[in-house]
Amino acid sequence: MINFKYPDAAVLVFAKAPISGEVNTRLIRDIGVEAATQLQVELIGLRLESLQKNKLCEIELWCSPDSNHAFFKECKKKYGVTLFSQQGDDLGVRMSLAIKESIKRFKRVVLIGTDAPSLTIDQIEIAVQKLADVNDIVIAPAEDGGYVLIGMSQHCDGVFQSVPWGTDGVLSCTRNNIKAHNLIGAELELCWDIDRVEDYQRYKKRAF
């Protein structure tokens, strides 16, 4: 039995299986399929290793296309994570359903991806702490106009409605949704994720 620092919380890690040609597709033209696939393996491993080492709270690995991929089963063995399959055709639907399911088991949940190495374990802990205060929701904005973390102490599907996923309007739309549903929100420091070759080079230099 692991003694977590925040036993009433969980971190939900959204991850795509490292299937050749299907991950980090925006980078393939610049770095090639093999490097893009290896990057996915590396980023997932780094994130799970950090979470396991720090023992903040329960770790749930939410898998795409499902949890049956051999890589995810290996992650379960290596990092002690619980596996779940993402459900839904749209990113917003998938995130909303994951939070809705996990919030039944925990008082506060924080959902992150694997492509934002600039998001530190300290920031994740701050997000967990903020959800124990008056905040209903917490987000970590990204430089590209999206966000790299969203946490909730109560599920609200409306936060994910009508959001233009994959564009620079994600963050502003989400902020508007938070206000429209009268939620008390907090934001963390600005982060960056790996979308472009410049981001990849920044990551390789560990300039974060």
Is residue 124 included in any domain, yes or no? yes
How far CA 167 is from CA of 43, 113, 173, in Å, comes to 22, 16, 11
- Read off the CATH number of the domain in which 70 is found: 3.90.550.10
Average pLDDT over residues 191-201: 95
Residues 190/163, Cβ–Cβ less than 8 Å = no
Phi/psi at 10 (5° precision): -145, 145
Whole domain around residue 67: which residue ranges? Answer: 9-204
pLDDT(87) > 70: yes
Q: How far apart are CA 80 and CA 62, in angstroms?
A: 13
**Among 167, 132, 131, 176, which Cα is nearest to 149's?**
131
pLDDT bucket at 122, cuts 50 / 70 / 90: very high
Q: In DSSP terms, which residues pair with 82 in a beta bridge?
A: 60
Asked if the structure places residue 83 within a domain, the reply is yes
On whether residue 186 sits in a domain, the answer given is yes
Single out the residue of 44, 178, 152 nearest to residue 100, CA to CA: 152
Question: Would you say residue 208 has pLDDT above 80?
Answer: no
* Structural domains of the chain, count: 1
Q: Is the pLDDT of residue 142 over 70?
A: yes
Whether the pLDDT of residue 81 is over 60: the answer is yes
* 119 touches 140 (CB < 8 A): yes
Beta strands across the sheet bearing 9-16: 82-85, 58-64, 9-16, 108-112, 147-152, 137-141, 185-187
> Where does the pLDDT of residue 207 fall: very low under 50, low under 70, confident under 90, or very high at 90 and above?
low
- Quote the tokens at residue 136: 């209903």
Packing angle of the helix pair 33-54, 70-79 (nearest 10 deg): 30
The predicted structure's pLDDT at residue 112 = 98
* Residue 3 resides in a domain: no
Q: Which residues pair with 35 in a beta bridge?
A: none
Contact 72, 63 (CB under 8 A): yes
Over the chain, what is the mean pLDDT? 97
Condensed to tens digits (0 to 9), the pLDDT of residues 88-100 reads 999 999 999 999 9
Distance CA 198, CA 203 (A): 9
> Mean pLDDT across the stretch 20-47?
97
Mean pLDDT, range 135-155, rounded to an integer: 98
Closest CA to 107 of 2, 5, 6: 6
Contact yes or no for 151/138 (Cβ under 8 A) = yes
Does some domain include residue 2?
no
CA distance 109 to 83: 16
161 pLDDT band (50/70/90 cuts)?
very high
pLDDT > 90 in the chain, percent: 97
- CB neighbour list of residue 58: distance below 8 Å, 6 or more residues apart: 4, 7, 9, 10, 11, 82, 106
Q: Provide the pLDDT confidence category of residue 206 given band limits of 50, 70 and 90.
A: confident
Q: Answer whether residue 79 is part of any domain.
A: yes
Q: Is residue 1 part of a domain?
A: no
Residue 4 covered by a domain: no
* For range 36-58, the mean pLDDT: 98
Read off the pLDDT of each residue in 117-132 and give the average, rounded to a whole number: 97
Instruction: Give residue 2's pLDDT.
Output: 87
Q: Categorize the per-residue pLDDT at 130 as very low, low, confident or very high, splitting at 50, 70 and 90.
A: very high
